[in-house]
Structure 1
Amino acid sequence: MGRRRKGREISGWLVVDKPAGIGSTDIVNKVRWAFDAKKAGHAGTLDPDATGVLVVALGEATKLVSSITDMLKAYEFEVRWGAETATDDASGEVLETSEARPTADAIETALPTYRGDIMQVPPAFSAVKVDGQRAYDLARAGEEVELEARDLYVDELTLVETRPDAATLRLVCGKGGYVRSIARDLGRDLSCLGHVGWLRRVWSGPFEVADGVTLDRIEDLARTPELDALLLPVETGLADLPECRVTEMAATRIRNGNPAEVISSDAEFGDLAWASQGGLAVALGHYRAGHFHPSRVLNR
């Protein structure tokens, strides 16, 4: 028999305003310790040097992480011109330099090709798997990593500010987007080379950086009711999805993994949605012809 994980049965979301210099997994571990939670995970990795919204799920919210990961996310970031690095950000070894610098007009002209449905090659230093191994492990070992281009949906990419050696941009994209790849490819397209200077995620699905809690505050309030009060309800993470309201009897059927009739909903046929009873989330699933079909059931 496996050892039972210790901790409290506590569920909800904590929006962490992640500082630079720490990995996403380390943040999750600190949050789980601070809440003395039995189960924790995060919805979308941030690079160690990146800051901003890191959504940590506790308890039953961990079952909904994939739905948050699939939602749009917004970033503000700086591209520094004149150098390409091994990691495509400021922490990496400089591989090549250029004296050229783009004008604001040249940047604006280049941006439309990065919007909509595009193909993007991830950075060599990324979590993408190559023959069962993480690309960053191979890159750190000195191996040459060649990654295939992947589909990415870019909802928005705009120029916020430009300076002689850098530019600030805003990106809204779907799952699997790499800001570092945007900076690298822009630098190449503009014939000046580039890499990310800084990166901040400002929202992820329904979660805003304004709601973020600093790591210092989490540590200060660890194991207290005051920290518990900062936890957002499980339903918060479902706010961007259509809701299917069901009866108590239907909720029981859904919790047993069966489809059930919906009282009312703004969902359309085939939509990913969530079932609720009395305002509480029952499950995540799909709406079809007046019925809710569960895929992930919440034990609450």
Structure 2
Amino acid sequence: MTEWENFPNPPVRLVSFELRFPVRRRIATRPVWDAFEEGLTSDLPNVESFVREGDDAQLPVHENDLVLRRSNVDRDWAVTLRYNGVTVETTAYVSYGGLRKCIDSVLLALESVPWASPTRLGLRYINEIRVPGASRILDWRPYVNPCLLSPLNDHPVGYSASYLQAGLGFHSLSGPEHTYAHYGPLPDSPLEPDDVLQLKEIDGPCFILDIDSFVSGTAKSPVAATRKEVLDVVDRLHDAVEAVFNWSITERLREEVLRVPPSETEEGAERAGDRGA
């Protein structure tokens, strides 16, 4: 696993991990709840059960039906178990180490139940990059890779670009990882709080950099067979996300925003707002 810079002012707004496996009816049983209780109760004490307790014979209406969800007191971390997989989500991301620890706890809980080897592993980071004074589409040129803004290099006579949403796909040269980045400047955050996670309100223009890295297989050819193998894949997915993120931004963004403590960045945003008033 590569060592990446841990910025004091990261733009991460939402991180999610997904492990998908073939549908298993016995996921909705007391041993599963007990295993998740034992492994996650200290960090994620809030419990929501979506299946009647003790109903071992209950069949899912849909493979994506919810079975169990655990969240923390602040509701900015959640683990959701479904008949066909499990997700870990957070809107309070601090470091990959913390995320990996939670994923490992989930994998330990799954070891005690009859789940099949995973057919998909995915890691998604949604970044909202904000720079004081950057509000127009061309204001982002000093802060993101020029390749991302190349469609703005030309335009029809008599017109100027006012909107850009695009995507890029990458494939690892040394492994099976696929990584997709969807990006573009927006007048405000596209994320909305729901009934699962609390999301701190941050207003204003931003540059969205939504990076999703994954590997996929089949029931006969799973992407991993053991907990260690799953974690090894997740480490590679994280490396892919970081590689695409760091390729997408400039040193100026690192120096002026990401390496600056949040309080100083907020003061700069207020000064920029005063100038624009």
TM-score, length basis structure 1: 0.28
The structure whose RCO (Cα within 8 Å, separation 6+) is larger is 2
Q: With structure 2 as the length reference, what TM-score do the two structures score?
A: 0.30
